[in-house]
Amino acid sequence: MTPMPKPPSLPPVNPEADDVLPSGIGELIAYGVDRPGLIPLWVGEGDRPTPDFIGEAAARALRDGHTFYTRMLGIPELREAIAAYLAGVYGGGTTPDRVFVTVGGMQAFQIALKIAARPGDEVILPTPTWPNFFGAIEAGGARRVMVPMSFAPESGWALDVERLAAAVTPRTRAIVVNSPANPTGWTASHADLRALLAIARRYDLWIIADEIYGRFSFDPAHEALGRAPSFRDVWEPEDRDRVLFVQTFSKNWAMTGWRVGWLEGPADLGRIVDGLILYGTSGVATFLQHAAVVAMREGEALIQAQIAQAREGRRILAEGLGRLPGVELPPPAGAFYAFPRIPGEPDARRLAMRLVDEANVGVAPGTAFGPGGEGFLRLCFARSAADLHEAVRRLAPVLAAGR
């Protein structure tokens, strides 16, 4: 990227700070955010504000005087509540000392990276993927090694694990595995997860596992499980020490603006994570942590409502867009994004801008998600059915005319 021209009054800026990757989603938002009546499907969040029972808990915590400095790894009640939630969803095995509370999933990922990779080291990630992963890898000085997944209109996205293994070099330190995936909805099978663990074991790598969309699982193959497959289902006891889970309150609990998440990993890392948090953010706002305890303990009905809404949203977009001539949209197996391939317009960025201008709908261009995203668009379906029907109604003529 060309460095920004520096205003003459500024002292020298660290060129690495100036070299952070521009966000392909941010560019679209800047382009269209002020359009009256625009339906925003470009970011990964729903239209539901955080429910009152969680907001009230934050207000109560403030009134109760929870306004002081906090524990770097999180208040004990929250670490316990998270461990209990994980035990409920995945079955035992997570103890509070494996849970480190962070400023959203984003800081959890940053810390995981810091633990795994030095500047110049390589981190492998399948693409298309959430751009913050590769932006954060580069901003931290490591090198992203992107392994494109393959797409077939009938069966959707697939990861070639052998191709990923072939990308390992002596500098590789970690593999990022996001399943269910943003933006593709790709959901690893237990066989995929076993194969990835085997690679990590063979080359002594970390796995940075992002299973934040695990409850949003729509593939009938995983219906009995009630969630997407997890590394926890297949790991051997010795693997538990090489998987770092990035997690967040943002999606399940409708708390994107709260910036609360957690990292889960070996309890022995506690001392290191404590230091990284101390010299980073110095912890998550105390009263927010108290509210997060309530979200954890009382949030199951909320999560179920969010999943039901996403299931309906997925149906509306898959049917509404999937039947347009030439549009390829196998229904996503998980997460809450439709990622259709659009015929006739290979430049997804230009198409996304046209959709702002001509349909007043905000979508993210597939090019923002790394190699393999060219020609695709991402639309978040964690929204009301009414909005999604209207979005389809507006998008259909523009997408059909583009052929």
List interacting residues with ligand PMP (CB under 6 A). Answer: 44, 104-106, 130, 178, 182, 210, 212, 246, 248, 250, 256, 261
122 is written with which tokens? Answer: 């390589």
Who's near 384: CB < 8 A, 6+ residues apart?
47, 309
Least CB distance to ligand PMP at residue 48 (A): 15
Backbone angles phi, psi at 277, to 5 degrees: -70, -40
Smallest separation (angstroms) from ligand PMP to the CB of 403 = 31
**Least distance CB 4 / ligand PMP (angstroms):** 25
Which residue's CB is nearer to ligand PMP, number 46 or number 320?
46
Min dist CB 261 to ligand PMP, Å, is 4
Per-position b or e across 93-110, b if 16+ CB within 10 A of its CB = ebebebbbbbbbbbbbbb
Return d(Cα 150, Cα 147) in angstroms, integer.
Answer: 10
| Nearest CB to ligand PMP, comparing residues 382 and 395 | 382
- CB distance 244 to 112 below 8 Å: yes
Cβ proximity to ligand PMP, 94 vs 129, nearer residue: 129
C-beta closer to ligand PMP: residue 218 or 324: 218
Q: 115 — phi, psi (to 5°)?
A: -70, -40
Quote the least distance from Cβ 127 to ligand PMP, whole Å: 13
- What gap in Å lies between CA 314 and CA 356, rounded to an integer? 21
Residue with Cβ nearer ligand PMP (210 or 264): 210
Nearest distance, CB of residue 104 and ligand PMP, angstroms: 3
Separation CA 166–CA 169 (nearest Å): 8
| Residue 122, amino acid | E
Cβ distance to ligand PMP smaller for residue 104 or 334: 104
Residues 6+ apart with CB under 8 A from 84: 296, 297
One-letter amino acid identity for 110? Answer: Q
